[in-house]
Structure 1
């Protein structure tokens, strides 16, 4: 290895160019007076003393100031390497711990060890959502995510919210924070999904007590999102009581999130507004890429998003249309298997 390559490696351990020159000179001499090192390294004797003290602290050299003149001795390379290795071994756990706590929000999995970080991750996920957010959170922690929830609604995101640990009532301050909000007096885990492909789960104690010693899991795996949404809608949503629902959105409006389209269709149905759906999708059981448009008047909605629900199983959310030809079709979202049509995009419009 030439001097240039050796100098590059030494610089990775925090040595400056002058420190490297001084250390390499000492290696050549083994032991030398400060004046000798200064002459060979092209620095002042005072600077050699200063650099030598720093090199001694790092284990590269030994300074013998008990003799006159002071001498500086390069430590055996095996001792230097051993010292550097020990330092790296000691540093690894701290680096690993810090990396875990600051891993990016879109990492596939992240262990989160503090309430502050859980709420920070939740805010990031909500802020980046384009279509749908499902969230359960203790009511007294909700203000910490309120700005992100308002902004999500302003972007047209569907927000399904459960606040826990509070008695259901109309005065919980949820207006403008959700499309539909429910409350449950019992504690429940903090659960969040964003666009069905990323989210987090935190134990109740972790959010309600800052020193609970619990850990949360954040994920960015598309396969896990629908599972968590299914648990949210199937297990927790039905247990909570509806306390807020937004007004119907002005039409026409287009939705790539099918649950959002179902919610709006039901809101307009309850308001007595006749609506038409333009569905881009494919026949269930048909060719994977055989997309076409299905257009018809919305005749019925089956859903569990608004109370009272009328779906036959917890995650069923669908609607029926009647085409101009009198054909009746049941429309479901991505992965539909009991409906006639699997929709990828829905446009709702008023029937004049």
Structure 2
């Protein structure tokens, strides 16, 4: 898809330039070099504004100024401009996220609440499942009735934790899931209790050690919705309740 000037101006704005800066920069590349009058003639940037815009572009390292009468401006090469804007974007990104890193764990002055989270959408549930499984150090219980809910990253996370010595139990009555893990060392596949029937809305359950859990249901616009908790009293109690019931006999 070809990009027109309005789209290019929008893109430059996303990179931090103003609309006038983008238009002047583009105009100078069209001209090769030019005066404020020549730039104003081919853009909607007033001539009186070209001077201040050019000064700003010079500060950004995107053009050079020839001290002539009248003053002439020449843009840096496209490749140099690309590198300059990339470096500036990365610096600003670092500044922004460095600040977030400094404040994210600061006490908020509130009573500590249990961390119970909701995540919606198949892809996001996939990602959160991998995160929880990857944290396991002693054991994993993973249950589902649908083979498509065991994505390649999830299968890889289960195999990697098993290889690291984590006890991995897959709970499913599906033959394709049993075959999927038949040759994976350290992974055991068990049937759920015989009296339990498949709930068509059930998604998956992932338990990591004694304090990480994710439970999902299918349906709704997002396709899948899960609650999850890790390192919390809620997670510990919920895991104990599940394992004390006859829904999942895990020793």
More strand per residue: 1
Query: What is the TM-score when the length of structure 2 is the normalising length?
Result: 0.46
Greater Rg over alpha carbons, structure:
1
Higher helix residue share: 2
Report the TM-score when normalising by structure 1.
0.34
Which structure has more RCO (C-alpha within 8 Å, separation ≥ 6)? 2
